[in-house]
């Protein structure tokens, strides 16, 4: 069960796989915890409670709007807490370079319910809003720039790679054709264009027809996969021996990166498999403690449908 410190309002983000994260990160008093994706602070509140009044919690988020949640969290955290605003791979690298060490690091990837549910952020295909999708509103690239500026080939690649969208090429072509006379400003314009570009039966298939295009643009706008790839080694550098790293991912592209990284680090040796003996001398840096990803229970999915695609992997620094 979650402790009472987790008092969320109806519109707040509900932390995913909270009991599982808590059990596997196994935080004890006196430790330093890094929540690299603070959001509404649900996981932080739970981990801070496990610090039992002793220790430190470092919160990171690139979205300045989490400040209100952090202030609320800090008031009742009972431990020393600070918020570092920025992209987590950069902040983790800076902390590691400054010899800040951690015992537990959590990355709960993607966007929060507050980001998704605020129409003005432009993340949702379900509400008409400016086409934005930046987690950090000060970042240069927005979905509007990408949709109006990228060429057909680049858009096709984005939709195919990050959205696994079957009709990537047709959608990209329709976007490029339309924007000559009507540059895209709003989410509804993109939704209409996607609907018109795909065959009629596909409009009634697997979920909302623009779901995959919106996911792909969000990943590209925020360079989500690049940030994850850069964050994992930085997190491992920050961990003390015995320190735990937990990553919650929400789609196969993210999970693949985490799985592969943990597997490589748990293996150590990078010699080609046909070498009779190891010549690289690389030692394992991680021990994988979740060979299969941990998934939410049916009960959790029922009470929080956004958890349905979540996968948790945890590794320990050796």
Ligand X SMILES: C[S@@+](CC[C@H](N)C(=O)[O-])C[C@H]1O[C@@H](n2cnc3c(N)ncnc32)[C@H](O)[C@@H]1O
Give the binding site for ligand X (CB under 6 A): 13, 15, 37, 39-43, 60-63, 66, 87-88, 108, 110-112, 135, 227
Nearer to ligand X, 33 or 60 (CB): 60
Nearer to ligand X, 59 or 171 (CB): 59
Minimum distance from CB of 318 to ligand X (Å)?
Answer: 26
Minimum distance from CB of 139 to ligand X (Å)?
Answer: 11
Minimum distance from CB of 15 to ligand X (Å)?
Answer: 4
Minimum distance from CB of 169 to ligand X (Å)?
Answer: 29
Nearer to ligand X, 60 or 210 (CB): 60
Q: Which three-class secondary structure string do you get for the chain?
A: CCCCCCCCCCCCCCCCCHHHHHHHHCCCCCCEEEECCCCCCHHHHHHHHHCCCCCEEEEEECCHHHHHHHHHHHHHHCCEEEEEECCHHHHHHHHHHCCCCEEEEEEECCCCHHHHHCHHHCCCCCCCCECCCCCCCCCCCCHHHHHHHCCHHHHHHHHHHHHCCCCHHHHHHHHHHHHHHCCCCEHHHHHHHHHHHCCHHHHHCCCCCCHHHHHHHHHHHCCHHHHHHHHHHHHHHHEEEEEEEEEEECCHHHHHHHHHHHHHHHHCCCCCCCCCCCCCCCCCCEEECCCCCECCCHHHHHHCHHHCCCEEEEEEEC
Nearer to ligand X, 15 or 122 (CB): 15
Minimum distance from CB of 10 to ligand X (Å)?
Answer: 14
Nearer to ligand X, 178 or 311 (CB): 311
């Amino acid at each position: 069960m979650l402790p009472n410190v987790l008092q969320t309002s109806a519109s707040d983000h509900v932390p995913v796989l909270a009991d599982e994260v808590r059990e596997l990160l196994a935080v004890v008093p006196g430790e330093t915890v890094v929540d690299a994706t603070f959001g509404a602070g649900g996981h932080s509140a739970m981990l801070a409670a496990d610090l039992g009044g002793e220790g430190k919690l470092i919160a990171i988020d690139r979205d300045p709007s989490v400040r209100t949640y952090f202030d609320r969290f800090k008031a009742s955290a009972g431990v020393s807490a600070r918020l570092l605003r920025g992209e987590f791979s950069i902040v983790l690298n800076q902390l590691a370079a400054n010899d800040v060490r951690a015992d537990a690091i959590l990355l709960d990837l993607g966007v929060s319910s507050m980001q998704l549910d605020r129409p003005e952020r432009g993340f949702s295909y379900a509400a008409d809003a400016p086409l934005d999708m930046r987690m950090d509103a000060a970042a240069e690239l927005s979905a509007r720039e990408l949709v109006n500026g990228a060429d057909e080939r680049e858009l096709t690649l984005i939709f195919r790679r990050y959205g696994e969208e079957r009709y990537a090429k047709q959608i990209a072509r329709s976007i490029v054709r339309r924007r000559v006379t009507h540059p895209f400003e709003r989410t509804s314009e993109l939704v209409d264009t996607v609907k018109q570009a795909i065959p009629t039966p596909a409009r009634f298939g697997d979920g909302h027809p623009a779901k995959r295009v919106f996911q792909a643009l969000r990943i590209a706008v925020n360079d989500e996969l690049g940030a994850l790839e850069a964050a994992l080694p930085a997190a491992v550098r920050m961990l003390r021996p015995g320190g735990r790293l937990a990553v919650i991912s929400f789609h196969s592209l993210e999970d693949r990166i985490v799985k592969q990284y943990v597997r490589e680090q748990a293996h150590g040796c990078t010699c080609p498999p046909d070498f009779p003996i190891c010549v690289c001398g690389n030692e394992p840096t991680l021990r994988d403690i979740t060979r299969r990803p941990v998934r939410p229970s049916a009960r959790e999915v029922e009470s929080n449908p956004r958890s349905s695609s979540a996968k948790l992997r945890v590794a320990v620094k050796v």
